[in-house]
Structure 1
Amino acid sequence: MDEVWQKLAEPFPPGEVQWRIEALSRDKKRALVVPYVDARTVLDRLDRVVGPEGWQDAYEVLADAERTVRDERGERRERLVEVKCRLTIRGVTKEDVGEGDSLKAAFSDALKRAAVKFGVGRYLYRLEKQWVDYDSEKGRFTPPRLPEGEGSPEAPLPEEEKPEAYRLIDQLMERLKEKGLGKEAAKIVTKYGGYGKTPEETKRLYGELRALLKG
C-alpha cells in the first residue's frame, strides 16, 4: 500500500498544472496566480494508480443558499453551495468539504480536497504564489513555468526559510479560504502588493486579515 500512496502523491506533469488568478495589482498589470489541477486530472490519477474499481466516491450537499456580498462594485447576491465528499481508496476512507457558486463547482472542489488527504496534488499547496504580467484587455497572463519532473516553480522559497510573518499570513489566508472569505482576503493582499513592501506594511496586512477572520 505504501507504493500506492507514493504514486498518488507524485507531482503532476507541468502540462497538467493550471494557474488561476487570486488577485490583481492596483494598476491591473500584474496578477497573483496560484497552481491547481482540475477534477478530471484527479480522476485520471485515481484511475491510473488503483484502477476504476479501486476507489469510490459519495457526496452530500450541506448547503445551497444565497448570501450578500459587498465590494467595490456594490452589493449583490451570490450563490454558495457546500458539498461533502467521502472518498474511499483501497478500503481507506477520507472526507472533506468543498464549495462553489454551483453544484458542479462544489462537487469538483470537494473531490479535490478529499483527494488531497490521500496526497493527490498536496504538493501544490506548498508552491510559492507567483506575480506575473497580466493583459487586462485580453484577460490573459503568462503562466509560470514548472520544471519538468519537479513539483515547484523555479527557485521557490522553501517553507522553512520563509519569514515567520509570511508563514502566519499564509496560515491566515488558508483559514479565510476555508470560511469562504478568500476573495475578501485577496483584495487585502492586493492592496499591499503581496506580503507588503516593508515590515510595517506586513504588520498592517496581518492585522487586517486577522480582523476579517474575526468578523
Structure 2
Amino acid sequence: MNDVWDMLSEPFPPEEIEWHVEALSKDKRRALVAPYADARAVLDRLDEVVGIHGWQDTYEVLHAPTDAAGHYAVKCRLTVMDISKEDVGEGESFKAAFADALLRTAIKFGVGRHLYRQKQWVDHDPETGKFNPPQAHLEAAVHGSRATQVASPPLARPENNPTPPEAKPEPQELIDRLIERLKEAGLGKQAAQIVMKYGGYGKHPDETRKLYGELRALLKGQAS
C-alpha cells in the first residue's frame, strides 16, 4: 500500500508543469510564481497508479454567481483505494472551479504536493506580463526553446563520495529520485543499464527527457 502512495506523490515530468503568477511586487517588476500540474496530469497519474477502477470523484457546486462575473465554488470528494478526502476549489468559471477542487483534493493524497514548495520570486515585465520561470530549463527540455546543458555524471558513484555543494538542475534531481526508488525496488541493475545507454543524464535536453520517461516506465511496470 505504501508503494501506491509513493507513486502518487512522485514528481511530475517537466512537460506537465506550468508556472502561474500568484502575486506582484508594488512596482510589478517582481512576481511570485508557483508551479502547477494540469488537471489532466492528475487524472493520468491516478489512472497510472491505481487504474481507472481504483479511484472515483464526485463534485458538489457550493456557489454559482447570478451573473457572468463572480466566483464559483465547488467541493470535490476523491476516493482512492477506498480512502476518501474532500476539498473546495474556486474559479471564475465552472471549469476552473472543478479543476481547482480536484487539484486541491488530490494534493491530500500526495499528488503534486512537492510543487507547493517551489514558489519563487522572479523578474517580471510590467508591460507585457512576461516572466522567466525559475526552472526555465524544464521548459527548454520539452519545447527546445533554448539550449540547456546537462552534465553527464559518472556511471557509478561510490557510496562514500560526498554530494557536491552545487544544486543540481531539476531534471537531474528528478532522475536521481527515480533511481533511488528503483534501487529500493530491486531494479538498480536495470536502471543502471538505462543510464548507461544515455551516457549519464543525457547529452542534451531531449535525451534527458527520454531517460526520465524510460526510468519512470520501469518503475510503473514493477508496480503493476
Q: 8 Å contact 1:13–1:149 — kept in the other structure?
A: no
Deviation (angstroms), 1:47: 1.1
1:77-102 Cα shifts (integer Å, max 9, x gaps): 94111111111112211111111111
How many aligned residue pairs are there? 141
- The answer to which structure has the higher strand fraction is 1
Query: Where in structure 2 are there 5+ consecutive unaligned residues?
Result: 139-169, 175-224
The residue type equivalent to 2:44 in the other structure is: D
Q: 8 Å contact 1:30–1:133 — kept in the other structure?
A: yes
Match of 1:45 in 2: 45
Alignment partners' CA distance in 2, 1:125 and 1:24 = 18
The residue type equivalent to 1:136 in the other structure is: P
Query: Where in structure 1 are there 5+ consecutive unaligned residues?
Result: 68-76, 152-215
Establish whether residue 96 from structure 1 lines up as the match of residue 87 from structure 2. Answer: yes
Q: 8 Å contact 1:81–1:100 — kept in the other structure?
A: yes
Q: 2:121 aligns with which of 119, 131, 156?
A: 131
Match of 2:171 in 1: 148
The range that moved more, 21-30 or 36-45, is: 21-30
Q: Relative to structure 1, is the Cα distance of residues 9 and 134 closer, same or farther in structure 2, using a 3 angstrom cutoff?
A: same
1:175-197 Cα shifts (integer Å, max 9, x gaps): xxxxxxxxxxxxxxxxxxxxxxx
The TM-score, its normalising length taken from structure 1, stands at 0.60
Identity of matched residues, %: 62
Q: 8 Å contact 1:11–1:150 — kept in the other structure?
A: no
The residue type equivalent to 1:140 in the other structure is: K
Q: 8 Å contact 1:64–1:81 — kept in the other structure?
A: yes
Q: Which runs of 4+ in 1 moved over 3 A?
A: none
The TM-score, its normalising length taken from structure 2, stands at 0.58
Deviation (angstroms), 1:27: 2.6
Match of 1:158 in 2: none
Deviation (angstroms), 1:104: 0.6
